[in-house]
Chain A
């Protein structure tokens, strides 16, 4: 389990970029802007040796810009960076919030960064608005606490309207892989398990803003 979820927003953007463009080996770079809109949900789940916990991401993702080159079954991206504020995770438990922020070194690294590099998908699914849910795979660079790892993420997407897509799935990461010490409590007797899973159920709005 080596993946994180937030870049999945960016997958959607890639899909939308593709859907709005004729299929060719790779189109010229196209600028788009995207935003995550209601009723999106993004949360992480983890376990300790005594319980389970859920932390909801309450960050607001206002319109951001990126560049996309669209190909037959893939899209390549530049400046497709999504930053999530570490302090915006709400575990509904003040101590847990504090421990999570401390583990993620929120002071030093206030954002979790996801750089979308490439997204792969079936061109037939994108052409067909009645295709329902289809599989997507993205290559991303995930940066947590200053450590960057490349990941290949699988998710499911669905076209909702001309400029809106839904994206859902879950991905897990091992905290230690990013140099994060899993939080502990009660003198170390309560331990958060290394593996945490991000769940996402997102609606993404994408609009073209110009051409190069």
Chain B
């Protein structure tokens, strides 16, 4: 095709066709192909992310039955601990007094006094804010008993709570009754220092006293 030999009308028609083609291709590219591929890329990315998540979930849940068994066991121990070993924040002296008298009755010791010992410490305040969940709650127990009764009382107290700690013992004689001594004893229990962020989904109740 010789451009020079083409008539003016034909040249104009060819230019018009070329413009239509270029315009059409541009429109196809900008309004059809680009959104289509962008959409497709987004979908593919979403699919990749989702597939990764599914794989991650599958890996995480691979040992699910073992995890559930461990969780059930641990939760049971945890519940037992919070019910029996940890002093609640509400009315702690009442909780402790009940325990002390119950234990003392078992060994025939008549407890005279159970009084709270000031346990406020800035160190513990800071520790329970950041790292620890329990802090010591101390009470002074005063009674009169024989040496053997003291041993028995200590035994029942220590057996009743593995975390309980007898921090002070003072045994003084009594001139009027040599077989009975005056016993002053400080016992520390772990007490909740802060709320644990734990669901206890199976029981649907927060840890007691927290």
A, B in one complex? no
Residues of A within 8 A of B (CB): none
Binding site for A on B (CB under 8 A): none
